[in-house]
Amino acid sequence: MSDEKYEEKYVELEINDVKDTLLPRPWPVTEPRKREELYAPWVKDPRDPDGSYGEFVEENIHYKKAVGKPWALDGIIVLDCTVMGMAGAIAASYLGELGATVIKVEPIEGDPQRYWYPFGREEYAFEDIYTGEKVSPTFIHEHRNEYSITLNLETEKGREIFKRLAVHADIILENYPPGTFDEWGIGYRQLSRINPRLIYAWFGQLGQWGSMKDRTSKYGQWMLDPVGLSASEYVHSTGFPADLLPREFGGNPTRSGEWVGDIVAGVWGTVGILAALYYRENVSGRGQFIEATSAESYMEILDFNISWYAYDGSIKARIGGWDPNLNQYAWNPCKDGYMMIGGQSDRLWYRILQVIAQEDPEGARLIAEDPFLKEMAARNALEGLIKTYTVTAHWLVNNTRAEAEAKMNAREVAAAPVLMIDEIAEYEHFVYRGHVIEVMDEHYGRVLVSNSPLAHQHRTPARIKWVGRPLGLDNGEIFARYLGIGPEEMKKLAREGVTTWYHE
Amino acid sequence: MEKKVWDPSPPGSWSFDPPRDKDPVTGEDMEKIPFEEYCRRMFDPDKLWEKPEALKGWRHISSTMYILSPHVGATLGEFGAEVIKVEMPKLGDPMRHTSPFNEAYLWPETDHRPQVGTGMGFLHANDNKYFITLDYHAPEAKELYYDLIRISDSMAECYRPGTFYRWGIGYPQLKEVNPRLIYIYLGGFGNYGPRRYGGSYDILGQAVGGLAAITGWHEDFGGHPTKQTNWLIDWYSGLTGLIGVLAAAHYRRKTGLGTFIDLSQISCSTRATGYAFPLYGRFGVVRQRWGNWDTLLSVHGIIMTGRTDDPEHPNPQISVESRYVMVSAFQDDDFRELCYIIGRPDLWEKYSSARERVKPEAQIEIYRALEEWASDKSRSEVVEILNNAGLIAVPVFSAKDVYECEHFWERGTLRWIDDPIFGDVLVHGATVKMSETPPRVKWVWRPIGADNIRIYHELLGYPLPKLKELWEKGVI
Give yes or no for a contact between A257 and B290, defined as CB atoms under 8 angstroms apart. yes
Closest Cα in chain B, distance from residue A434 (Å): 9
What is the amino acid identity at position B289?
A: R
Q: Is the pLDDT of residue A31 over 70?
A: yes
B189: Cα separation from own chain's centroid: 21
State the pLDDT confidence band at A458, using cuts at 50, 70 and 90: very high
Quick one: closest CA in B to A271, which residue?
A: B243
Beta carbons of A230 and B402 less than 8 Å apart: no
Quick one: closest CA in A to B304, which residue?
A: A252
B250 touching A, CB under 8 A? yes
Q: Identify the pLDDT of residue A307.
A: 84
Closest Cα in chain A, distance from residue B32 (Å): 10
Degrees to nearest 5, angle at CA A341 with A339 and A343: 175
Q: What percent of chain B has pLDDT over 70?
A: 92
Closest Cα in chain A, distance from residue B404 (Å): 11
Q: Identify the pLDDT of residue A372.
A: 86
Please report, for residues A342, A348, A407, the alpha-carbon distance to residue A351 in angstroms, rounded to integers and kept in the order given: 11, 5, 11
pTM of this prediction? 0.93
Beta carbons of A278 and B55 less than 8 Å apart: yes
> CA A357 to CA A342: how far, in whole Å?
16
State the pLDDT confidence band at B111, using cuts at 50, 70 and 90: low
Beta carbons of B203 and A221 less than 8 Å apart: no
Q: Is the pLDDT of residue A299 over 80?
A: yes
What are the pLDDT digits (tens) for A221-271?
A: 999 989 999 998 899 999 999 888 888 888 899 999 899 999 999 999 999
Beta carbons of A311 and B389 less than 8 Å apart: no
Nearest by CB to B243, which of A274, A304, A416? A274
User: Which segment of A433-437, B48-52, B57-61 scores lowest on mean pLDDT?
Assistant: B48-52
Residues of chain A positioned with their CB less than 8 A from the CB of B207: 331, 338, 340, 416-419
- Mean pLDDT in residue range B367-392: 94
Q: Identify the pLDDT of residue B242.
A: 96
The closest of B128, B148, B116, B153 to B440, measured between CA atoms, is B128
Nearest by CB to A450, which of B271, B414, B428? B271
Number of neighbouring beta carbons within 10 Å of residue B261: 33
Q: Is the pLDDT of residue B107 over 70?
A: no
State the pLDDT confidence band at B181, using cuts at 50, 70 and 90: very high
Quick one: closest CA in B to A238, which residue?
A: B229
Q: Which residues pair with B201 in a beta bridge?
A: none
Q: Which residues contact B230 (CB under 8 A, 6 or more apart)?
A: A237, A301, A302, A303, A305, A316
Q: Is the pLDDT of residue B8 over 60?
A: no
- Mean pLDDT in residue range A173-181: 94
Q: Identify the pLDDT of residue A244.
A: 85
A161: Cα separation from own chain's centroid: 33
Q: Identify the pLDDT of residue B120.
A: 81
Angle between helix axes A401-410 and A346-357 (nearest 10 degrees) is: 120
Closest Cα in chain B, distance from residue A479 (Å): 28
Q: Identify the pLDDT of residue A381.
A: 83
**DSSP output for B393-419:** EEE---HHHHHH-HHHHHTTSEEEEEE
Number of neighbouring beta carbons within 10 Å of residue B404: 13
B358 touching A, CB under 8 A? yes
> CA A384 to CA A354: how far, in whole Å?
18
Quick one: closest CA in B to A444, which residue?
A: B282
- Mean pLDDT in residue range A115-135: 92
Beta carbons of A260 and B232 less than 8 Å apart: yes
Number of neighbouring beta carbons within 10 Å of residue A131: 12
Chain A / chain B CB contacts < 8 angstroms: 686
Give yes or no for a contact between A195 and A172, defined as CB atoms under 8 angstroms apart. no
B392 touching A, CB under 8 A? yes
Residues of chain A positioned with their CB less than 8 A from the CB of B411: 207, 209-210, 296
Q: What is the mean pLDDT of chain B?
A: 88
B164 touching A, CB under 8 A? no
Higher pLDDT, A418 or A50: A418
Q: Identify the pLDDT of residue B12.
A: 44
Return the CATH number of the domain spanning residue range A77-300+441-454+463-496: 3.40.50.10540
Please report, for residues B282, B292, B295, the alpha-carbon distance to residue A23 in angstroms, rounded to integers and kept in the order given: 8, 28, 21
Residues of chain B positioned with their CB less than 8 A from the CB of A236: 317, 321-322, 324, 396-399
Q: What is the mean pLDDT of chain A?
A: 89
Q: Identify the pLDDT of residue A22.
A: 65
Nearest by CB to A300, which of B212, B400, B428? B428
- Mean pLDDT in residue range A153-168: 94
> CA A316 to CA A308: how far, in whole Å?
8
Quick one: closest CA in A to B276, which residue?
A: A421
Beta carbons of A210 and B397 less than 8 Å apart: no
> In B, residues 195-234, which contact A (CB 8 Å cutoff)?
195-201, 203-204, 207-217, 221-232
User: Which segment of B91-105, B190-204, B246-260, B312-326 scores lowest on mean pLDDT?
Assistant: B91-105
- Mean pLDDT in residue range B420-425: 84
Give yes or no for a contact between A22 and A123, defined as CB atoms under 8 angstroms apart. yes
Nearest by CB to B285, which of A22, A233, A300? A22
Which residue pairs from A421-424 have beta carbons closer than 8 angstroms and sit at least 24 positions apart in sequence? A421/B210, A421/B213, A421/B214, A421/B273, A421/B276, A421/B277, A421/B280, A421/B286, A421/B287, A422/B280, A422/B286, A424/B208, A424/B209, A424/B210, A424/B213, A424/B270
Higher pLDDT, A26 or A185: A185
Nearest by CB to A193, which of B20, B67, B98? B20
Return the CATH number of the domain spanning residue range A329-418: 3.30.1540.10
State the pLDDT confidence band at A207, using cuts at 50, 70 and 90: very high
State the pLDDT confidence band at A9, using cuts at 50, 70 and 90: very low
Q: Is the pLDDT of residue A11 over 70?
A: no
- Mean pLDDT in residue range B200-205: 85
Closest Cα in chain B, distance from residue A279 (Å): 5
Q: Is the pLDDT of residue B13 over 70?
A: no
Q: What percent of chain B has pLDDT over 90?
A: 61
Q: Which domains does chain B have, with CATH numbers?
A: 59-269+446-473 (3.40.50.10540), 300-404 (3.30.1540.10)
Q: Is the pLDDT of residue B113 over 60?
A: no
> CA A342 to CA A340: how far, in whole Å?
7
Please report, for residues A88, B22, B58, B376, B461, the alpha-carbon distance to residue B27 in angstroms, rounded to integers and kept in the order given: 34, 5, 35, 54, 48
Q: Is the pLDDT of residue A135 over 60?
A: yes
Beta carbons of A436 and B277 less than 8 Å apart: yes
Q: Identify the pLDDT of residue A24.
A: 63
Helix (H, G, I), strand (E, B) or coil at A145: coil
Q: Which residues contact B257 (CB under 8 A, 6 or more apart)?
A: A459, B179, B180, B251
Q: Where are the domains of chain A?
A: 28-67, 77-300+441-454+463-496, 329-418
> CA B302 to CA B315: how far, in whole Å?
22
